[in-house]
Amino acid sequence: MGKNEIRLIPASAIRLNLCKHVYGIAAVMSLSVFLFSSAARAQEPSMNVKKENFHNGMVVCATPDAAKVGLDILKKGGNAVDAAVAVQFALAVTLPEAGNIGGGGFMVYRSAHGESNTLDFREKAPARASQNMYLDSAGNVVPNMSIATHKASGVPGSVDGMVEAYNKYGKLKWADLVQPAIDLAHNGFKITEKLASDLNRSRAQFVKLNPGKSYLLKDGDWKEGDVLVQEDLAQTLMLIRDKKREGFYGGMVADLLVSEMKNGAGLISKADLQNYHSVWRKAIYGNYKGYKIITMPPPSSGGIALLQLLQSVEKYPLHRWGYNRDSTVQLVVEAERRVYADRSKYLGDPDFYKVPVDSLLNPAYIDARMKSFDWNAATPSTSIQPGKFVGYESDQTTHYSIVDKEGNAVAITTTLNDSFGSKIFVGGAGFLLNDEMDDFSAKPGVPNMFGLVGGKANSIQPGKRMLSCMTPTIIEKNGKLFMVVGTPGGSTIITSVFQTILNVIEFDQDMQQAVNSKRFHHQWLPDVVYEEKDALSDSTETKLKQKGYKIVERGPSGRVDAILINKAGYLEGGADPRGDDTKLGW
């Protein structure tokens, strides 16, 4: 029995041509078990949802144990950022597919007084990375090199991000925020049926990629209720508890990480670790029918894409047309087609590439993009290219939403990229390495594991942050907090957040209904509308196919965790039934 135990979905099961940060996609893909009974039918979102309203705070995240950790912090007087730090480290223990200390992510923050900020703790390319590092001598992309090798890993940002967030906004003692995760790792926790299935499915990959290591392995299959103990991870977390940033980016953990890199011909050095720093960035804002949208700027593509999508559909009578009706679906698909085309060319790390944010969000530009939309026929993606404007210069993940008693709110999406990242552990330290380098464009026009294509803006450069689909978002109504929302799910992250917002604002669904409701997805290339089972009625599907839309059924899309402040002023949670996601409030 190894010191760490758990398991994953084979990469082959995840390659359903979707986008990034894969937890939702991977877990989703092969687990048809999650045709959740509580999910809404195509034309009738379920109204049989138990409503629980809370005054004092709420945590919605991917595992029950992590949700309890976050709520306990709130009850002890911690604020939303304190709870977020505690949840992040707890998820690194209880959600090894996506929770992490070896990955990175984004945070959107809004104070109870309405001030907002965002933190970019996305991974970075090592100093020895190069633009053509994944190409062979003939200039072709080498299969799996950016996914399941030591060279697939970017420099981790999660620990630095949590330290930065805490230093700026934290209230309780740092050690008290990390200790619950240490306890979970050291004492173990009972795994769910879903986690047991994921662990069993990934066993062969863990064995193949980790010779001499026994992490997340056991004799025989994992079963629901088995206790997972991760002693090496507990020791690493103790160092982070005691030394904060230096406990991860220096000392023993840094030595072990660099040793792991050398053993596998990886690129991350001690200098890369010491030089890594997360970045506070100004949020980007938009408006949709009187609601203020506060979301993540680049190198997340999610914020800009979400604002483009909302602007693209704002003038249309979606409320009258109805949830997932043929006109609604056609409009949303055509908007998504154009937005993902723009993403392929114009979005990347703003520290390396001038992202034309104002031009992409210009209403005249978005209106012009939608003029080629024909109600009578699908627009072939081959006829849609990234837009042009004057003056331009050249999918595993997890999300959690938290609101505290004072009304401070945090939306954080964090990831290892593929489910269980690269599947490679840092020997002696007990944590998984990410495979975020696959989010760069290894070669212009060649899709990554999620089917997304890119170009120069997202090419590999030393020290550069790779593009992401993560879309943590906070919404205001009349100057007050209204919604906190986000999801994992690769390329479906953006469209899942978009449709969840529409479900509340346009289709009058409460938070849990909006999260439950079935979703569909289009990302320009491949030219396919992916739908969850029963997302579209037979009549809607027939009408769309007659217009030339290719519709393909897929597994669950995303795992949205969200909080709504309802009309009565209560906190109303939405925890996605597609996973083990949990909402707790008080």
Whether residues 290 and 273 fall in one domain: no
Determine the pLDDT at residue 457. Answer: 87
Is the pLDDT at 33 greater than 50, yes or no? no
**Active-site choice (397, 414, 415, 492):** 397
Q: What percent of the chain has pLDDT over 70?
A: 88
Residue 53 phi, psi dihedral angles, 5° rounding: -110, 140
Determine the pLDDT at residue 47. Answer: 42
Whether residues 250 and 150 fall in one domain: yes
- Look at residue 118 and tell me if it is in a domain: no
Whether residues 301 and 262 fall in one domain: no
Whether residue 10 is preceded by a cis peptide bond, meaning omega within 30 degrees of 0, is no
Place 51 in a pLDDT band, splitting at 50, 70 and 90: low
Q: What is the mean pLDDT of residues 550-557?
A: 95
Which of 25-34, 152-161, 193-202, 385-394 has the lowest average pLDDT? 25-34
Determine the pLDDT at residue 234. Answer: 98
Is the pLDDT at 19 greater than 60, yes or no? no
If one compares 451 and 199, the residue with the highest pLDDT of the two is 199
Instruction: Look up residue 49 and give its two tokens.
Output: 């949802």
397 is catalytic: yes
- Look at residue 274 and tell me if it is in a domain: yes
Contact 90, 420 (CB under 8 A): no
If one compares 141 and 14, the residue with the highest pLDDT of the two is 141
Whether residues 390 and 451 fall in one domain: no
Is the pLDDT at 391 greater than 50, yes or no? no
- Look at residue 416 and tell me if it is in a domain: no
- Look at residue 546 and tell me if it is in a domain: yes
Instruction: Look up residue 479 and give its two tokens.
Output: 């100057």
CATH number at residue 355: 3.60.20.40
Is the pLDDT at 35 greater than 70, yes or no? no
Whether residues 203 and 175 fall in one domain: yes
Is the pLDDT at 54 greater than 80, yes or no? yes
The pTM of this model reads 0.89
Determine the pLDDT at residue 38. Answer: 33
Total of domains in the chain: 2
- Look at residue 26 and tell me if it is in a domain: yes
Alpha-carbon distance of 155 to 131, in angstroms, equals: 16
Whether residues 201 and 327 fall in one domain: no
Instruction: Look up residue 138 and give its two tokens.
Output: 């003939």
DSSP string, 491-505: THHHHHHHHHHHHHH
Whether residues 317 and 441 fall in one domain: no
Whether residues 374 and 451 fall in one domain: no
Instruction: Look up residue 500 and give its two tokens.
Output: 């969840």
Q: What is the mean pLDDT of residues 92-99?
A: 97
**Which tens digit of pLDDT belongs to each residue from 450-474?**
566 567 789 999 999 999 999 999 9
Buried-exposed string 501-538: b where 16+ CB fall within 10 A, e elsewhere: bbbbbbbebbbbbbbbbbbbbbbbbebbbbbbebbbbe
Query: Could you tell me which residues are beta bridge partners of residue 574?
Result: 562
Whether residues 137 and 176 fall in one domain: yes
Is the pLDDT at 388 greater than 70, yes or no? no
Determine the pLDDT at residue 449. Answer: 63
Determine the pLDDT at residue 4. Answer: 38
Instruction: Look up residue 271 and give its two tokens.
Output: 């200098």
Q: How many residues does the chain have?
A: 586
Whether residues 154 and 179 fall in one domain: yes
Alpha-carbon distance of 111 to 484, in angstroms, equals: 12
Determine the pLDDT at residue 490. Answer: 87
**Which tens digit of pLDDT belongs to each residue from 292-333?**
999 999 999 999 999 999 999 999 999 999 999 999 999 999
Place 441 in a pLDDT band, splitting at 50, 70 and 90: confident
**Which tens digit of pLDDT belongs to each residue from 252-298?**
999 999 999 999 999 999 999 999 999 999 999 999 999 999 999 99
What secondary structure letter does DSSP report for 44? Answer: S
Place 245 in a pLDDT band, splitting at 50, 70 and 90: very high
Q: What percent of the chain has pLDDT over 90?
A: 84
Alpha-carbon distance of 259 to 265, in angstroms, equals: 10
Instruction: Look up residue 426 and give its two tokens.
Output: 């840092």
CA angle 208, 211, 217 (to 5 degrees): 75
Instruction: Look up residue 108 and give its two tokens.
Output: 């959107």
Place 40 in a pLDDT band, splitting at 50, 70 and 90: very low
What's the mean pLDDT when you consider all of the chain?
90
Secondary structure E strands in 318-437: 397-403, 409-415
**Helical H runs in 347-381?**
357-360, 363-370
Instruction: Look up residue 349 and give its two tokens.
Output: 């790390």
- Look at residue 54 and tell me if it is in a domain: no
- Look at residue 439 and tell me if it is in a domain: yes
- Look at residue 337 and tell me if it is in a domain: yes
Range of the domain at 556: 282-394+471-585
**Which tens digit of pLDDT belongs to each residue from 407-438?**
999 999 999 999 999 999 999 999 999 999 99
Whether residues 581 and 478 fall in one domain: yes
Whether residues 497 and 537 fall in one domain: yes
